[in-house]
Structure 1
């Protein structure tokens, strides 16, 4: 859909007008929709008819101010024609079908970037706004890994874990999987919050990701807008991963909403004295699936794509494949798989590990570290000397090797598997 050429139909204008006059109230909007034969009839209905429905007095007041409503519609239309953002209505094919399965789907979505991402298979990643360094690294690497096998990483654009999840997906070097991330906003589509994320917002759009909001343009952040955002993060995704979260946090709200929607919640464990991760430990105690490697997510989530609920069966969902189950069902030259998966260095490492380690193939950029390791274990200081890398580079490569399942760490010592 080309935003610059979008012209709203009369029903779409009426839908937008209703959304404006009820100020984004889902209950009021759907009460109006169910009470009239069309959006047009609902919008042009007399004030007395709205009053009989028991709508809030602020909605009634806005309904009387027709000129302000028309001005608002015209402002949105001008922005659409200028290509500032897109507008997708619930009855359009571009609308994410998975959102139609939730209790209170938004009637419309404002969007910037590649709206095709909305129809692709997604995994949500959420967590603390003040994560530990380890949680940041784990989030980044896991998001990069999952994007590398075809999933879109969806999160809420907050500081901390959310940002790491978006950046991890954007860091996926494989061209066909570049930019696989969706940011769900708790503000209007034209309001950058937090303000320091202007570069992140631009990067998501430029690299083929997508930003969405159900809220009217100009809507500022409010404590009530973020739980609304969280339900969309959960609703868009097949499952939610919580990498680190306090016991009272928005991440646990997203996890609860995910569970209520009949989807799986994954939680990454941490030390029992890490108060910043108490929420994850609570989730595990309450039945969330404990994970420490993204392959464990793929094993559980990919099965849903055999009969996806809410996702259209399009090419967008096909690249996501469970490496564990796949190797039991195909030969090494299965033509049904995309070459970007079967030929990638990461995939080669998966194959080697799953086939009882008869052969280990390490990506070239990781060999400088892997070749210095043995099966007895070496500490970080020794590896810094032998690899001649700085601490950040070394830790990054060690984490990537761990995610590939080729090394392990125990007591601060790293060894081959």
Structure 2
């Protein structure tokens, strides 16, 4: 579990982020070989091939006194931005392992809101900007239901599926759900695209969610940055749900990234006559899980969810319960689990499992949900 503190940021983190001529690709190669200490990386960068003389001179200045750099005013602007409540500059070493282990992780994230949400459990919800009425309904309702099950919904604040996913989660939060929503932006925090989602972005932060971006202040929303940020949406998440997508939809790029990252990929089927379903059908042919209900989404995520929640189940094993109840209670988290999955995990017969669940319910430790699901209280 990451511990987020603003004191973890060093000025040299910002130098590496803003240094002209270095770039994300070279920075990734440096971190893969030398680790994440910014001074060590700057010293190693001296010897990189292909750098201009100007960039090498800037590296030398940064190693001696970063405040003498010609872009020192940008360092100050970012440090000033972080002094505001709810504003965070999170270097790579502060980010969850899911992001650190990506082949091309973000060196630094600007985050506005609640950084603890990065720990998850997170689900990416993506799809077309031009939604059918059914797609609009599904994106909103499934996100609403999943938020009630404790999942954080991650998307890109775009029109279409993204906006509906954020709004569905926010509605659930307003009603008392614990799952939140996170938006990954493709520009600096001093921009907001699309403009009609300014109110939505404000609500996300006001209600306990988070906005984040790998781009510095002053970075406008350029077309090439949108597909690049998708790796963060999928990398931050245990799985990716594609609601609707044409064959040319950018959400297919997100699905491919999720597969390459080893994440679960799920797609909702639709009418063969509708272009918005063609991309989902292609993903299903390529191996994505076909899901027809939000309950099936949780079933597909059962394995990664268990891994994500190992620490919480370890803590629960110390609860003051008889040993016969501990054996099954340690398998139940605040993320709903189906009775079938519980039977498989516990190895118990159905009658015995139901008896123990009823005892746990009487102890106030578990609540049983409609449809044969349960979760810890």
Pairwise TM-score range, normalised by the shorter structure: 0.7 to 0.9
Instruction: Work out the CA distance in 2 between the residues paired with 1:306 and 1:195.
Output: 39
State the Cα deviation string for residues 17-47 of structure 1 (Å, max 9, x = none): 011004783212234454699522544789x
SS at match of 1:200: helix
**Shift of the alpha carbon at 1:307?**
2.7
Cα pair distance change 1:312/1:90, threshold 3 Å: farther
Cα pair distance change 1:306/1:37, threshold 3 Å: closer
Instruction: Work out the CA distance in 2 between the residues paired with 1:174 and 1:36.
Output: 42
Map 1:80-95 → 2, pairs under 5 A: 80-83=82-85, 85-92=87-94, 95=95
SS at match of 1:211: strand
Question: In the alignment, does 2:283 pair up with 1:262?
Answer: no
- Greater mean alpha carbon deviation, residues 16-25 or residues 293-302: 16-25
Question: In the alignment, does 2:117 pair up with 1:117?
Answer: yes
Which residue number corresponds to residue 378 of structure 1?
Answer: none
Which residue number corresponds to residue 337 of structure 2?
Answer: 322
- Matched residue pairs, number? 339
Q: Where does structure 2 lack aligned partners over 5 or more consecutive residues?
A: 62-67, 316-331, 344-349
Question: In the alignment, does 2:43 pair up with 1:18?
Answer: no
Cα pair distance change 1:339/1:213, threshold 3 Å: farther
Cα pair distance change 1:323/1:219, threshold 3 Å: same
Contact 1:170-1:181 within 8 A present in 2 as well: yes
State the Cα deviation string for residues 213-240 of structure 1 (Å, max 9, x = none): 1111221111221122100111011111
Contact 1:156-1:233 within 8 A present in 2 as well: yes
**Shift of the alpha carbon at 1:131?**
0.4
Which residue number corresponds to residue 368 of structure 1?
Answer: none
Contact 2:361-2:367 within 8 A present in 1 as well: no
Cα pair distance change 1:299/1:31, threshold 3 Å: closer
**Shift of the alpha carbon at 1:178?**
4.3
Which residue number corresponds to residue 230 of structure 1?
Answer: 230
Instruction: Work out the CA distance in 1 between the residues paired with 2:37 and 2:205.
Output: 35
Instruction: Work out the CA distance in 1 between the residues paired with 2:30 and 2:299.
Output: 43
Question: In the alignment, does 2:32 pair up with 1:30?
Answer: no
Contact 2:184-2:212 within 8 A present in 1 as well: yes
State the Cα deviation string for residues 281-319 of structure 1 (Å, max 9, x = none): 1111111111110111111212223334xx773489942
Contact 2:135-2:244 within 8 A present in 1 as well: yes
**Shift of the alpha carbon at 1:244?**
0.3
Map 1:133-144 → 2, pairs under 5 A: 133-144=133-144
**Shift of the alpha carbon at 1:7?**
4.4
Match of 2:49 among 24, 43, 53: 53
Which residue number corresponds to residue 370 of structure 1?
Answer: none
Question: What is the alpha-carbon root mean square deviation over aligned residues?
Answer: 3.4
Cα pair distance change 1:172/1:197, threshold 3 Å: same
Instruction: Work out the CA distance in 2 between the residues paired with 1:180 and 1:99.
Output: 19
**Shift of the alpha carbon at 1:179?**
5.6
Instruction: Work out the CA distance in 1 between the residues paired with 2:288 and 2:150.
Output: 24
**Shift of the alpha carbon at 1:184?**
0.7
**Shift of the alpha carbon at 1:201?**
0.4
- Greater mean alpha carbon deviation, residues 287-296 or residues 327-336: 327-336
Map 1:342-357 → 2, pairs under 5 A: 342=367, 347=369, 349-351=370-372
Cα pair distance change 1:235/1:171, threshold 3 Å: same
State the Cα deviation string for residues 134-168 of structure 1 (Å, max 9, x = none): 10001111111111111111111110000001111
SS at match of 1:105: coil
SS at match of 1:284: helix
Q: Which structure has the greater CA radius of gyration?
A: 1
Which residue number corresponds to residue 39 of structure 1?
Answer: 38
Q: Where does structure 1 lack aligned partners over 5 or more consecutive residues?
A: 356-417
Cα pair distance change 1:318/1:13, threshold 3 Å: farther
Which residue number corresponds to residue 307 of structure 1?
Answer: 307
Instruction: Work out the CA distance in 1 between the residues paired with 2:310 and 2:76.
Output: 33
Map 1:329-408 → 2, pairs under 5 A: 329-330=353-354, 331-333=356-358, 335=360, 342=367, 347=369, 349-351=370-372
Cα pair distance change 1:228/1:45, threshold 3 Å: same
Contact 1:148-1:174 within 8 A present in 2 as well: no
Which residue number corresponds to residue 414 of structure 1?
Answer: none
Instruction: Work out the CA distance in 2 between the residues paired with 1:169 and 1:222.
Output: 27
